Amino acid sequence: MRFNHLDLNLLVALDVLLEEQNITRAAERLHMTQSATSGVLGRLRSYFEDDLLVQVGRKMQLTPYALELITPVREVLLTIQSSITAKPVFNSTSSKRHFRMVTSDYLITVLLARVIQRIHQEAPHITFEMLAPTDNSGELLIRGEVDLMIVPERYIIEGHPSQLLFEEEHVCVVWNENPLVGDSLTLEQYMEMGHVSVGFGRSRHMSIEDWFMNQYGFNRRLEVITNDFNTLPQLIVGTQRIATMHQRLARLYAAHLPLRIIPPPVKIPVMRECMLWHRTMDRDPMHHWLRERISAFIHDLGQH
Spell out the SS3 assignment of 46-78: HHHCCCCEEEECCEEEECHHHHHHHHHHHHHHH
What crossing angle do the helices spanning 23-30 and 9-20 adopt, rounded to 10°?
140
Give 227's pLDDT tier (boundaries 50, 70, 90): confident
User: Looking at residues 193-205, what average pLDDT do you find?
Assistant: 76
Give 239's pLDDT tier (boundaries 50, 70, 90): very high
pLDDT score of 172: 95
User: Which fold, 98-167+272-300?
Assistant: D-Maltodextrin-Binding Protein; domain 2 (3.40.190)
Residue type, 254: A
What percent of the chain has pLDDT above 90? 40
- Mean pLDDT rounded to a whole number for the chain: 86
Over 70: is that where the pLDDT of 288 sits?
yes
User: Looking at residues 3-21, what average pLDDT do you find?
Assistant: 78
Over 70: is that where the pLDDT of 53 sits?
yes
User: Looking at residues 28-35, what average pLDDT do you find?
Assistant: 87
User: Which fold, 2-85?
Assistant: Arc Repressor Mutant, subunit A (1.10.10)
Under DSSP, is residue 260 helix (H, G, I), strand (E, B) or coil? strand
In angstroms, the CA 49 to CA 43 distance is 10
Tell me if 2-85 shares its fold with 170-269: no
In angstroms, the CA 136 to CA 83 distance is 26
CA end-to-end span of the chain: 49
pLDDT per residue over 145-182, tens digit each? Answer: 899 999 999 889 998 999 999 999 999 999 999 998 88
Q: Which CATH number fits domain 170-269: 3.40.190.10, 3.40.1180.10, 3.40.120.10, 1.10.10.10?
A: 3.40.190.10
pLDDT score of 1: 40
Over 90: is that where the pLDDT of 109 sits?
yes
What percent of the chain has pLDDT above 70? 90
All structural domains of the chain with their residue ranges: 2-85, 98-167+272-300, 170-269
Give 6's pLDDT tier (boundaries 50, 70, 90): low
Over 70: is that where the pLDDT of 206 sits?
no
121, 150 in Cβ contact below 8 A? no
Over 70: is that where the pLDDT of 141 sits?
yes
What does residue 190 show for φ and ψ, rounded to 5 degrees?
A: -60, -45
pLDDT score of 236: 96
Over 50: is that where the pLDDT of 116 sits?
yes
User: Looking at residues 250-272, what average pLDDT do you find?
Assistant: 94
pLDDT score of 85: 54
In angstroms, the CA 249 to CA 117 distance is 19
What crossing angle do the helices spanning 113-122 and 285-300 adopt, rounded to 10°?
120
